[in-house]
Amino acid sequence: MKGLKFFDRLIFFVNSLAAFLLLFAYILPYIPPKSFSLLAVLSLAVPVLIFLNILFFLYWLLNIKKQLLLSLIVLLLGFNYITSIYKFTGSKIAEDTDNFSVMNYNIRLFNLFDWLSSSTIDSEILKFVKSENPSIICFQEYHKNEAFALKGYQKFENVSDGKVKSGQAIFSKFPIVNKGSISFPNTSNNAIFIDIVKQKDTIRVYNVHLQSIKVSPKVSDLQKEGSEQLTKRIGDVFKIQQSQAEQVLAHMSKCPYKVIISGDFNNTAYSYVYDKIKGDLQDAFKVAGNGFGKTYDFNKLPLRIDFILVDKDFTVNGFKNYDVELSDHYPIKTILK
């Protein structure tokens, strides 16, 4: 750091720390949370660390200093992580007569507990879904609602027996020839699946809802919980998510058909559970998405925690994020062939 003034030395020290943390975060998807749950929490900070390193790179670039190489090299090493945050080149929908669409949407119980001021959320969601007309729809935090009637679909609902009666549901325009549930212990979260027949092809569709972190997007609520307590709680949730992901993978390993996995992972694309569930599958957003790919609004941070992952035998002909504020999540849809 010869030739740097005191202020620039201080900046470079912080820059080095941010670069090291980001570089370390790159290996977190390969470390099981059950082994190092507290380290796994760092994966949630990856978007912030990427943003900081971009700022540091620009700072040194504008000052024409060779220190820009530190953040530049670290960012280039993790370029795949950057494209998980923001897709630079959007893809237009490739029209094909064999195309079909898959939508994923966490609908938060149709606003059962009045989180939103509107009293017509169920009918608004119904109107939205009808207008988009997806071939297959996976709902998380689904609540049985007589007013929510989608004609032309077969459906499989799996809801708990508790007071709220919440769970998951899959609606399909294709015939459902098999269905089932993967029960996660000690939670209302679970995964369900259906086998559908499209022409002469049988396809399995999984709808996965991994354990919720249950972190409020309000800063004031976060401040009520100490950082140490919050970190430990999130780490414990990540361990539960790992067990749930292992259940899904064990079930999927016995599937003889092409697979589509849709759902709310309650974790990011930099996490262990995402990496394991994705495996050799295609992330439809990364193939054909555009922009930030936001599926959850957390303090204005564009988090992507809902995914549609598809078998390599599918061609991803389009992907869309919707800025529809009818839940705390945003719907996504992909076009497949």
Mean pLDDT of 17-34: 93
Q: What is the pLDDT of residues 222-263, one digit of tens each?
A: 555 667 788 888 999 999 999 999 999 999 999 999 999 999
- What pLDDT is stored for residue 225 in this prediction? 63
Chain CA centroid to CA 261, Å:
11
pLDDT at 216 over 80: no
Higher pLDDT, 141 or 117: 141
pLDDT at 110 over 80: yes
Residues 6+ apart with CB under 8 A from 152: 173
**In terms of Cα–Cα distance, which of 100, 213, 192 is closest to 142?**
192
Does residue 188 contact residue 212 with C-beta atoms inside 8 Å?
Answer: no
Residue entry with tokens 């530190």: 70
Question: Whole-number mean pLDDT of the chain?
Answer: 90
Whole-prediction pTM: 0.92
Cross-strand bridge partners of residue 203: 196, 258
- What pLDDT is stored for residue 221 in this prediction? 52
Q: Report the b/e string of 245-278 with b at 16+ CB within 10 A.
A: bebbeeebeeeeebbbbbbbbbbbbbbbbbebbb
Q: What is the pLDDT of residues 74-106, one digit of tens each?
A: 999 998 888 887 787 767 778 888 899 999 999
Mean pLDDT of 276-282: 97
pLDDT band at residue 171, thresholds of 50, 70 and 90?
Answer: very high
In the sheet that holds 201-209, the strands lie side by side as 176-183, 190-198, 201-209, 258-264, 306-310, 282-283
Q: What is the pLDDT of residues 26-60, one digit of tens each?
A: 998 999 999 888 788 888 889 899 999 999 999 99
